[in-house]
Structure 1
Amino acid sequence: MARPRTHTLELRAEIMACALATVAEHGIAALALRDVAERAGTSTAAVYSLFGNKEALHQAVLISAFTAFADAQATDPPTDDPVTDIAGLGLRYVGWATEHPRLYEAMFTDAAAGLTRSPELDTARLRAIERITDAVRRALDAGRFRPAPVDTVVTSLWAQVHGLSVLTIAGQIPEEVDVMSAAWAVIEGWLAPASPA
């Protein structure tokens, strides 16, 4: 008879990988402790021991997804042109969302909103918008964007790429639509008027 696996950090990582794979394939509604345990080759008791409960595992999945998203946003270093940086961040945003649609949905659905807040999840969520917040602040400081609170501009740009991501994932954008022009129009709306020569 095989000896039971001890509740190690390695087993925790394996359970986490299986939970992420489950959500990536089937969505957050498919996250069931028994199924994740079976997929990881362990017991439900081990999942409870290492994560506490289903909500904690759900939070861990979201933290991992937000972290992966933030890492993707940070693949290119900032340049001297914050407006170009903002456009690049938007492209990477939509790219990540469409490559990981079920994880993206898990990050921004009612199920995620209903979770008990935790410092770890709040930190992961904030890190996900760190790069765009920095680029917007630099654009405002340089006079490239018209004056406005940083959070207002970030929310405007975020809403645009979020909507574009959701529509793309749902296959709702007609083929004839120039998505890049639609995305740039929102950035252009924030540009400061050119100074008279």
Structure 2
Amino acid sequence: MLDTKGKILSAACDIYLEHGSKGMSMRKVASKAGITPTAIYRHYDSKEALHHQVLMDGFRKFGSYLYPTIAGASPLEQLNQAADAFFRFATEQTRYYELLFLTMDSTNEIKVDKVLQREALATYQFIINSVKACMSAGILKDDNPEEVAMLLLSACNGFFGLYVSKKFEGTQQEMKAKYDRIYQRILRGLAA
């Protein structure tokens, strides 16, 4: 059972995804959360503060999936675990996945908000560092680590973009098998 703050964030995330940041109002959030509009102001000073918190929670949740992969035994294992973490995040936290990776509203907010920008860049830098480690270990061809990280993220994100937009269907197990095969094909092309 969610507490009031959790209900507010959940409702805000749903409305944000359905109507974008411009279509989100404190009244809509309150109605969806089953509370009064004034109750929101006990937790958030403004609509902008609520937007900010929804995005921060999304990045922190993504990080909670991604950062434990650093415990992998080798750079390649870490990179593989990061790809697996991306899959789990996209399938287990679909609302946050859509919010962070598929909506333009969040992209625009991240560009202007320095705190959000730092959170977004931290997860991206984590992938770049994993790619660099694989290149240094001779696992991947020596190349531009940022561009290779971008390629890997683009492939993972593109896969889920197609899935979310119903371009292909299947069970989660079938989807995971396709995802793994696509990811492995890309890695084989990048292998040293």
TM range (shorter): 0.7 to 0.9
Instruction: Please state which structure has a larger fraction of its residues in helix.
Output: 2
Is residue 2:44 matched to residue 1:51?
yes
Q: Quick check: 32-41 or 158-167, which moved more?
A: 32-41
Cα 1:123–1:80 shift into 2, 3 Å = same
- Which protein shows a greater Rg? 1
- How far the C-alpha of 1:112 sits from its partner, in A, is 1.0
Task: Give the aligned residue type for 1:28.
Answer: L
AA paired with 1:142? A
Pairing 1:84-123 to 2, within 5 Å after superposition:
84-108=77-101, 109-115=103-109, 117-123=112-118
Aligned partner of 2:4 in structure 1 is 14
What is the one-letter code of the residue matched to 2:163? T
Classify 1:33/1:26 alpha carbon distance in 2 versus 1 (closer, same or farther; 3 Å). closer
The 3 A distance-change label for structure 1 pair 137 and 153 is: same
Aligned to 2:147: 152
More displaced, 164-173 or 178-187?
A: 164-173
Check conservation: 2:15, 2:28, Cα contact below 8 A. no
Amino acid at match of 2:97: Y
Q: Which moved further from structure 2: 124-133 or 59-68? A: 124-133
Q: Which residue of 2 aligns with 1:7?
A: none
- By how many angstroms is 1:26 displaced? 5.5
Which residue number in structure 2 is paired with residue 36 of structure 1?
A: 29
CA distance in 2, matches of 1:56, 1:19: 12
- The equivalent residue for 2:132 is 137
Residues paired across the two proteins, number: 178
CA RMSD of aligned residues (A): 2.6
How far apart in 2 are the matches of 1:101 and 1:135? 24
Q: State which drifts further: 172-181 or 159-168.
A: 172-181
> What's the TM-score once normalised by structure 1's chain length?
0.76
Query: Residue 173 of structure 1: SS of its match in structure 2?
Result: coil
Q: Is 2:159 aligned against 1:164?
A: yes
- The yes-or-no answer on 1:79 pairing with 2:69 is no
Q: CA offsets, 1:114-149, max 9 Å, x none?
A: 326222101211222343222111111112211112
Contact 1:86 1:132 in 2 (8 A): yes
Structure 1, unaligned stretches of length 5 or more? 1-12, 193-197
Higher RCO structure, 1 or 2 (CA under 8 Å, sep 6+):
1
Moved more, 178-187 or 46-55: 46-55
Contact 1:87 1:184 in 2 (8 A): no
